[in-house]
Amino acid sequence: MAAYIAKRLLAAIPVLFGLSIIVFLIMAMIPGDPATAILGSYATPENVARINADLGLDKPLPQQYLIWLGNLLQGDLGRSYALNRPVLDEVLERFSATLILAGTALVLCSILGLLAGVVSAVRQYGLADKVITVLVLIGISIPSFWLGLLLILAFAVKIRLFPASGMYAIYGGGDLPDLLHHLFLPALTLAVVATGVIARLTRTAMLEVLRQDYIRTARAKGLSERRVIYRHAFKAALVSVIPVIGIQAGFVLGGAVYIETVFQWPGIGSMLVNAISTRDLLLVQGGVLVVAAAYVLFNLAADVVQTLLDPRLR
Amino acid sequence: MSEAVSTAAKGRARGAGRPGPIRLLLNNTLAASGLVLLVLIIAAALLAPLLPLPDPDATAPADRLLRPLTEGHLLGTDALGRDILSRLVWGTRVSLAVGISATLIAAFFGSLIGLVAGYAGGRVDAFLMRGIDMVMAFPYILLALAIVAALGPGLLNALYAIAVVNIPFFARNIRGITIGLSRREFVDAARLSGKSNAGILFGEILPNVLPVIIITMSTTIGWMILETAGLSFLGLGAQPPQADLGSMLGEGRKILFTAPHVSIIPGLMIFALVMSINLLGDGVRDVLDPRLKSGALTRPVARTAVERRTVPETRTHGDSVLEVADLNTEFHIGGDVYRAVGGIDLHLKQGECLGIVGESGSGKSVTAMSLMGLVPTPPGRITGGAAWLDGEDLFAVSDERIRALRGADVSHVFQDPLSTLHPLFTIGDQLTEAIMAHRPIRRSEADARAEELLRLVRITNPAERLKVYPHELSGGMRQRVCIAMALANDAKIIIADEPTTALDVTVQAQILSLMDTLRRESNAAILFITHDFGVVSAVCDRVAVMYAGRIVETGTTEEVLNAPAHPYTRKLIDCVPVLGEPGRRLDAIEGRPPVVNDLPPGCAFAARCPRVKPDCRRGHIALSSLGDTQAVRCLYPLTGETADD
Amino acid sequence: MTDTPLLEIDTAERVFGGGRTLFGKSLPAVHAVQGISFDVRRGETLGIVGESGCGKSTLARLIVGLDTPTSGAITFDGMDLVAEARRDPQKLAQRVQYVFQDPVASLNPRKTIRTILEAPLKHLLGLDRGAREKRLRELMEAVNLAPEFLERYPHEFSGGQAQRIGIARALAADPELIVLDEPVSALDVSVQAQVLNILDDLKKTFGLTYVFISHDLSVIESVSDRVAVLYFGRLAELGASERIFSAPRHPYTHLLLKSAPVPGKRSLIPEDANTELPDPYDPPQGCAFFARCPRGTDRCKSEQPPLEAAPGHPGHMAACHHPVEENEDA
């Protein structure tokens, strides 16, 4: 197994390499002159030339990439012009906040989604199934940024149960209960869509598995229905749901962009939105790269878990 | 040939009776309401220029932030005094246009990549899919953000970004389907018919992929509308004065606490739009997806439903371990009732092996699976008869009692040993589980018993084999494991449903020998389902021949094989080539068995029978005895002197 | 029946997998078909029998040009079949056709029978509309189906009817050789006989040559003039049908004959003999049947037996160091 994990880690290297190329190319294909974009009204010819030399933009593209990659490997993602601090410091600080939010949401949606899916499949066409099906449909159709606004109006403005924004209280906060208090609404909002998707696929996977011959065998052996469903069927369904959870991690990480904006969570998503509007491109580049790398590693973990569950994949 | 025409005509008549796809869609309340809502929204959006709405961009600072239901402004006004209703209708128009365009772009390029990669395979596939993997390695929205960041904010750029990030989704889905289709035999057949690669890809494969593309589009379009709205919400999509639903929501957010209606209304509209699309999309998927259409995704319950209209009371074979009287099992599919088993009587003595022979659709497996309630419900149900196991009616006992009997007193061996063993548990796990479900013993004792069982079925190195997974064994080995499982709790009866059909001949011969030896050692009775008279000869003491859900003949194996009395039995024996008699012209049975939802009165075989007389097509024909053990359901059975005609 | 071979296969070999990774590590390879040589004479039916994993389907695909041998030569009527399949597959398809195992899967579910049957007439023969119409009627009559069926879709047919359509499709271009890959094994026994009888009639009417592949010995015996027995990708035995079934020389052929279930006969096979095939990724050096063979010696373990003729029967070949002689009981 350790060998398998090592092999998968090695296989992730070209993917990360590819990511860096794509991120680099996206930034390189920016129309017009980035220096002018950065400088705005300060774009005198001398300033433009200086910026171009600073950024190495006067060199050919492959060379620019290699220089950029070399810096990247040394942990140098450049400096943010708008914030005037190293991109890496800013990105890592913001990313830890995003991890707290997205991680919580992911745990929440996995548990709720699996639970709802299994209940829905086991009670197919029953009341629970119908209620869950409708809730799931609402969940995957509702714009999360709008849901966030509604929740703020309801729970922060009308009944003042939860704070409307931020990660910690401005005065006297900073401890874990304070964090959880701030975390509740955004994490819940972020989890809604993914919960719907996971619940749906879990239901389908369970229904598919429950029709398999080996489930009939389990019943023919005289196992209790509880054991048939929760041991035999659930394990097999889980194998096909785990990659979905891996993909949902991407949606949750991406969805954090909206939720962080709505709840003013100091994460990487709100940072990116700001950086895009201020054309702070190095910050955008760094942020995208770090989140994408984290996502690759997460998917790797999902793969490994799936392989652990399914001996046929070894 | 005339029969073929008539059955096909019948098939067409039935097809006409089934509701068409549109009808099916409208029968689904949720999908129909989604359709109505969507049609309303689209109509409003399309008719926007014709509707009596104020200019959506006309500002009126004096009338800013009017509440909904104000005179002249049904939904109020926004921060610049613009009419929200008008902006909503025009914004919906933009959002719809962007969502649909993005979906079409993504579907076209994604499907094309998927089709080409899946069909070409090899290097082309590897190259295209590595590219797709790269794009998928980004968290979805993040990549869209990066693209918008590069291209600059704007509605068109947002559209491109959303389309690009959705291409992999289509490409992967379509590639998977295409690979499956490319390996199908009809593709080889088309190639041998002289079709070119392009002809095959677009003429043979594409028509089969199209429903999947439509399903994928219907599930993604709502999502794409949400995402473009999201980008606009962040201020990266539509730029003022142009507005879509997302940018309206984004502008309203700034005044959420003072004038919530400015943001709530466009949000509600996005929700309604996406919800209606998803409702309709689900309906479309249900109609187009063949698995859903056939009810294949219905969960079978733990035990077949028993709704007996008739319950026989008397047992006639007191000395038998198992007696079945007048068993009826039906399948209710759509409005049709398939009488898969229409009144079966059986009895089985201790240590005896009874073979049930029949062609596919004769009801032989359903008979066997009915006994312990393993026929899937829905659509199956037992509608009559009784099955006494040592005097206890299996159709009357509680679910818990059936569970206790399954795998203990009555065990099963199924056809395909690969699909009947759980792929994720070791052989040892599955064996010990079978033992421990019926005996309160410790795991270590169960392990020892499992090892003993494997030895019993002649598996060498049993302790090692307990640790392997089913896919690591050969077909013959797997079937030995299944037999070991059936022997785990000293069953009185083993129900074997075509246990050797999936195996090679040499392996089959061994498994048959093994089963024969083991039943003599354990004195278990076997109910052996097969389509092969050769297999019957190898293991069965007695045999029952089934046709269209009924037993048409029964007797000892020798009687039925040497002097079949029913014309069907005779024909069934004669139409199979026999080793060592190569010169014999095969006596084919013309025509096809009747469909069990439309059985003719009288003898079901009458239409194919060379000896048919008018009274064969009337009334019920009973099973009549011919001596002590043989019985036949025929008015004009073959006797010794006519057996060779 | 003349003795000029229509099809000659010379040491055909097909390897799947293999090759090397980017880093030069060699990938596992499987020899699906290895060192197979035989002829098919004009007008005969050559039966090919073997169990799963013996390479019979791979061999069938090589003969119709759907797959290419890794090495060896296949000659059809004096022409290099492998080169022809690459150069002009349509021309080859006019002369060599194929009937598939799964009759329903071999028909595109979204095409009418007319479209399916017209494809070879259009692409292979280039017939115009009127000629096609005439040919379609002939074909439907040849396989005993009503012409009304042309407008229907495959799902409206039973397995037996679908297989008759598959046969009509193969027949459409008026080929000389038809490869039948398990044409009746997916069918119910009563329907199986109908299809076998139609195949027999067509062969006589159109002067066809068949390569008939099956796992079912009794079917093979009833249709074949000569029989080839395959085991683990190699030819175990080859000879006239009567010889193979009355005086088999290879111990594997013996085992097959003893194993086949025959009505009225109890099985004679011991229940615990080894039935495992060798690991295809790690094939044995000597005879592949050695582990299961009652006659095996050290020589069998180390040395691949060559195909040799039986004394007095030059056409009856077996690949065995210790073949069963005629008057001896295996």
Q: Write down the domain spans for chain C.
A: 5-319
Distances (CA, A) of B444 to A98, A311, B210, B425, B432: 49, 24, 55, 17, 9
Q: For A233-284, what is each residue's pLDDT tens digit?
A: 999 999 999 988 988 888 898 889 899 999 999 999 889 888 887 878 788 8
d(CA A234, CA B253): 43
Closest residue, chain C, to B504 (C-alpha): C51
Question: What share of residues in chain C are helix, strand, coil (percent, to 5)?
Answer: 35, 25, 40
Residues A119-127: contacts with CB under 8 Å, at least 24 apart: A120/A199, A120/A202, A120/A203, A121/A202, A121/A203, A121/A206, A121/A207, A121/A210, A121/B299, A122/A206, A122/A229, A122/B299, A124/A207, A124/B298, A124/B299
Instruction: Output the pLDDT for position B3.
Output: 35
Minimum-distance CB partner of B507 among C123, C124, C275? C275
Chain A residues with CB under 8 Å of B298 CB are 124, 207
- Measured distance CA(C109)–CA(C102) in Å, rounded: 13
Question: Any idea how long chain C is?
Answer: 330
State residue B252's pLDDT score: 86
Burial class (CB in 10 A: 0-12, 13-18, 19+), B505: buried
Which chain B residue shows the shortest CA-CA distance from C179? B192
Neighbours of chain B (3+ CB pairs under 8 A): A, C
| Residues in chain A within 8 Å Cβ distance of B147 | 26
Q: Where in chain B is the domain with CATH 3.40.50.300?
A: 300-404, 407-540
Which residues on chain C are in Cβ contact (under 8 Å) with B575? 189-190, 192-193
Give A142's contacts in chain B (Cβ within 8 Å): 271, 274-275
φ/ψ (deg, to 5) at B622: -90, 160
- Mark yes or no for CB contact B186/C106 under 8 Å: yes
Is residue B491 pLDDT above 80, yes or no?
A: yes
CA distances in angstroms from A12 to A18, A210, A313, B526, C16, listed in the order given: 10, 35, 18, 55, 28
CATH superfamily of B407-540: P-loop containing nucleotide triphosphate hydrolases (3.40.50.300)
Nearest chain B residue to C157 by CA distance is B8
Confidence of residue B402 (pLDDT cuts 50, 70, 90): very high
Average pLDDT for B5-10: 36
Residues of chain B with pLDDT > 90: what percent? 46
Q: Which amino acid is at C18?
A: G
Mean pLDDT throughout B606-628? Answer: 88
Query: Residue A209 pLDDT more than 70?
Result: yes
Mean pLDDT computed over C78-106:
91
Which residue is listed with tokens 């996502």? A295
pTM of the model: 0.86
Which of the two residues, B598 and B124, has the higher pLDDT score? Answer: B124
Q: Render pLDDT for A21-64 as a digit per residue (tens, 0 to 9).
A: 888 887 777 655 666 666 666 667 777 777 777 766 677 788 88
- Look at residue C53 in the predicted model and tell me its pLDDT: 81
Q: How confident is the model at residue C92 (pLDDT cuts 50, 70, 90)?
A: very high
Of B204, B458, B579, the CB nearest to C218: B579
The verdict on A15 touching B (C-beta cutoff 8 Å) is: yes
Per-residue pLDDT tens for C235-257? 999 999 999 999 999 999 999 99
Pick the residue of C52, C81, C267 with the most B CBs within 10 A to test the interface with B by mutation: C267
B168 prior amide bond cis, ω within 30? no
pLDDT digits (tens, 9 = 90+) for C133-147: 999 999 999 998 988
Lowest mean pLDDT among C185-189, C264-268, C288-292, C318-322: C264-268
On whether any CB of chain B is under 8 Å from the CB of A141, the answer is yes
Q: Could you give the ipTM of this predicted complex?
A: 0.89
Mutate to test the interface with C, among B3, B12, B192 (most CBs of C within 10 A): B192
With bands split at pLDDT 50, 70 and 90, how would you rate the model's confidence at B145? confident
Closest CA to A99 of A243, A247, A249: A249
In angstroms, the Cα distances linking C253 to C216, C239, C259, C323 are 13, 12, 10, 11
What distances in angstroms separate CA C173 from CA A268, B391, C165, one per listed residue?
A: 66, 65, 14
A28 closest CA partner among B151, C251, B240: B151
- In chain B, list all ranges with CATH 1.10.3720.10: 8-47+74-295
* Residue numbers in A near B412 (CB within 8 A): 217, 220
Nearest to A254 among B141, B257, B424 (CB): B141
B423 has a pLDDT exceeding 60? yes
What is the C-alpha to C-alpha distance for residues C187 and C101, in angstroms, rounded to an integer? 9
A146-155, B5-14, B570-579, C36-45: segment of lowest average pLDDT: B5-14
Q: Which residue of B has its CA nearest to A206?
A: B299
3 state DSSP class of C14 = strand
Which residues of B fall within a CB distance of 8 Å from C271? 458, 510-511, 513-514, 516-517
- pLDDT at residue A196 in the model: 94
Q: Indicate the fold that domain B300-404 takes in CATH.
A: Rossmann fold (3.40.50)
Lay out the sheet containing B630-632: strands in order across.
B410-413, B493-497, B525-530, B353-357, B542-547, B550-556, B630-632, B624-626
**pLDDT tens-digit map of B538-549:** 899 999 999 999
Which one-letter DSSP state was computed for residue B350? T
Cα–Cα distance between B462 and B453 in angstroms, integer?
9
User: Can the peptide bond before residue A186 be classed as cis, meaning omega within 30 degrees of 0?
Assistant: no
Structure tokens at A140: 């995957």
| Percentage with pLDDT > 90 across chain A | 39
Subunit partners of chain C (3 or more CB pairs within 8 A) = B
CATH number of C5-319: 3.40.50.300
The DSSP 8-state label assigned to residue C49 in this structure reads: E
Which residues are within 8 A (CB) of C194 and not within 5 positions of it... i.e. 6 or more apart?
A: B588, B589, B590, C160
A249 CB neighbours in chain B (<8 A) are 139
Tell me the pLDDT tens digit for each residue of B353-393.
999 999 888 999 999 999 999 998 888 899 999 999 988 89
Verify whether the Cβ–Cβ distance A236 to B423 is below 8 Å: yes
Q: CA separation (Å) from B272 to A140, A154, B41, B276, B277? A: 12, 20, 9, 6, 9
Which helix (DSSP H) or strand (DSSP E) does residue A98 occupy?
Answer: helix A87-122
Kindly indicate whether the domain formed by B8-47+74-295 is annotated with CATH number 1.10.3720.10. Answer: yes
